[in-house]
Amino acid sequence: MTIKRQYSSPNCKLILEGLSQNTDSSPLNGLPLMSILINSECHFLNSDKIISGGLDFFKNFVKAVSSYSQEFLSGIPHPIETHSDTDKVVLQKVEGKDLHHLIWESPDNNEKVEMDLTTVQLFDLVETVDQFLADPLTLPDIKWNVQPVSRRYRQIDEPLVKRATPVGLGVAGLALTGVALLFAPIPEEMKDPNRQPSPQPNPSETLPNTQAPNSGEPTPQPNQEK
Amino acid sequence: MPDKSNPDGERPVVLEQLPDFPVSSPRAHVRIQQKIDLILLALEALELGGSEYMLKTAKELQLKNIIKNRVILWRLRCSNPWRRSYTRDELSLEQAKGLVAIACSRANQLKVLIRQLLIAEHQMKEKGFPLESNFRLSEYLERFRAHFASRMNPRRAKVAFYLADETALNELALSLLRELLFCGGVKGKERFWISLFDGEVE
């Protein structure tokens, strides 16, 4: 028996169709557990555009929407590991506008959907995904897995250009000084007029007397005064 | 943000829903505290008597042990370094979670108003009208600017920048309003809490 689950918000509707591996009903409220996904569709109510696909698409869709909403809240980009190269869903900020660009390209029939979402529409999209993530009876293998990104993803508060300017100016100044000094003439050696020529050494005066001094004086003897 | 467990009784459920993360540096604490206070400031600009509603929400969420009264709430919010009366206190993990839980609960209550204001903002910008042409939006922005000017320390460079540039301050108010919309969602509390630690963990 096919199970159908629907999650909706004012601007968005998410429909999942799937099967249950286990025929037993859940003891919670009698609803069966959807464990196999056949098809998923996301309808945008302000337009007639639909994005849809199987399990790969849905995993990528959930991951992209969830990561982008965190990125929106913190302003720090989240890396997305997609489950397959096809059926990718991409959400990007539209620069200078309060809009979010959604792109999805279907792998089989080359259908491409591109649309701009306002922040309220983006929130509605996130809401439908979060309603699904909060539902323990639908595809429990796709779990809530949101974690903060580490420090290395943090963009520096000051732009690189601004931070590099003082260093660049310093290096450039040093380089210019070096180049200018290359053209400067090498100073000639100046003779100091006060400097006297150094006297020539006289070997007879300077040679040390290697002979033992023989001055005739007696060598003091120990115990002489005894 | 050391975790000071509640000695008086069981931990409120709302705190259990928010995970603990190790914060990398003291600067990270400051940024988190600043963001929480600004989000609460935006809530105050949305509804008159906002702090009273926050205290009421603290009681409903069984957070009375963390936020006992108005003075405690004010002291916790003064951990924002932009404040005139910055206390240099560091929020404990439970205090931060408590304030986030209150903010998200209030945002959920005010979801309809927040949506209306953001839709109005989009329409005004699309038509090229000034934001002040919409009465409710103008009221929100005006209140936010007044709260910001009266409570933040103008000797802080960033505060001085915002006080000198009304457009930038309006944009700050609108960006906080957009975040409040997400705070009021099904998993808004968890999403906002985790977003505070983005780029702050090892």
Cα of first residue to Cα of last residue in chain A, in angstroms, is: 133
- Give B182's contacts in chain A (Cβ within 8 Å): 69, 72-73, 123, 126
Answer whether residue B139 shows pLDDT above 80: yes
Instruction: Report the residue of chain A nearest B187, measured CA to CA.
Output: A130
pLDDT tens, position by position, A2-36: 899 999 999 999 999 999 887 655 556 678 889 89
- Give B121's contacts in chain A (Cβ within 8 Å): 98
Q: At A221, which amino acid appears?
A: Q
Answer whether residue B180 shows pLDDT above 70: yes
Q: Tell me how far apart the alpha carbons of residues A78 and A72 are, in angstroms, rounded to a whole number.
A: 10
> In the prediction, which pLDDT does A72 show?
94
Provide mean pLDDT across the span A205-216: 49
- Give A69's contacts in chain B (Cβ within 8 Å): 182, 191
* Cα-based angle A146, B58, B70 (whole degrees, multiple of 5): 125
Nearest by CB: A126 against B115, B185, B197:
B185
Give the SS3 label for residue A38. strand
Q: What is the mean pLDDT of chain B?
A: 91
Residue A49: pLDDT band (50, 70, 90) is confident
- Give A78's contacts in chain B (Cβ within 8 Å): 198
Provide mean pLDDT across the span A96-122: 87
Answer whether residue A43 shows pLDDT above 90: yes
Nearest CA to B185 out of A28, A10, A51 is that of A10
Q: Tell me how far apart the alpha carbons of residues B179 and B182 are, in angstroms, rounded to a whole number.
A: 5
Tokens 């069981």 belong to B10
Instruction: Report the residue of chain B nearest A78, measured CA to CA.
Output: B198
> How many angstroms separate the CA of residue A7 from the nearest CA in chain B?
12
Contact (CB<8Å) B198/A130: no
Q: Tell me how far apart the alpha carbons of residues B63 and B56 are, in angstroms, rounded to a whole number.
A: 10
What b/e readout covers A39-55, taking b as 16+ CB neighbours within 10 angstroms? bbbbbbeeeeeebbbeb
Residue A215: pLDDT band (50, 70, 90) is very low
In this complex, is the C-beta atom of A70 within 8 Å of any C-beta atom belonging to chain B?
yes
> In the prediction, which pLDDT does A150 show?
83
pLDDT tens, position by position, B93-104: 899 999 999 999
Tokens read off for B173: 């108010």
In this complex, is the C-beta atom of A56 within 8 Å of any C-beta atom belonging to chain B?
no
In this complex, is the C-beta atom of B126 within 8 Å of any C-beta atom belonging to chain A?
no
Domains assigned to chain A: 3-149 (2.30.31)
List, in order, residues 6 or more apart from A74 with CB less than 8 Å away: A148, B195, B196, B198, B199
Instruction: Report the residue of chain A nearest B179, measured CA to CA.
Output: A73
> In the prediction, which pLDDT does B73 show?
93
pLDDT tens, position by position, B18-49: 999 887 788 888 999 999 999 999 999 999 98
Best residue in A128, A145, A151, A153 to probe B by mutation, most B CBs within 10 Å?
Answer: A151
Nearest CA to B148 out of B33, B42, B23 is that of B42
> In the prediction, which pLDDT does A96 show?
84
C-beta contacts of B154-162 below 8 A and 24+ residues apart: B156/B81, B156/B82, B158/B82, B159/B82
Answer whether residue A78 shows pLDDT above 90: no
Axis-axis angle for helices B26-46, B50-60 (nearest 10): 110
Nearest by CB: A123 against B181, B200, B201:
B181
pTM above 0.95, yes or no: no
DSSP string across A148-212: --BGGGPPPSS-HHHHHHHHHHHHHHHHHHHHHHHHSPPPPPPP-TTPPPPPPP-HHHHS---SP
Q: Of A123 and A49, which is predicted with more confidence? A: A123
Q: Give φ, ψ of A184 to 5 degrees.
A: -75, 140
Best residue in B18, B191, B196, B201 to probe A by mutation, most A CBs within 10 Å?
Answer: B191
Tokens read off for B40: 């609460």
Contact (CB<8Å) A123/B194: no
Contact (CB<8Å) A153/B118: no
In this complex, is the C-beta atom of A146 within 8 Å of any C-beta atom belonging to chain B?
yes
> In the prediction, which pLDDT does B71 show?
94
Q: Of A191 and B116, which is predicted with more confidence? A: B116
> In the prediction, which pLDDT does A226 show?
37
Most trustworthy range by pLDDT among A74-88, A108-122, B113-127: B113-127
pLDDT tens, position by position, A192-204: 777 766 666 555 5
Residue A168: pLDDT band (50, 70, 90) is confident
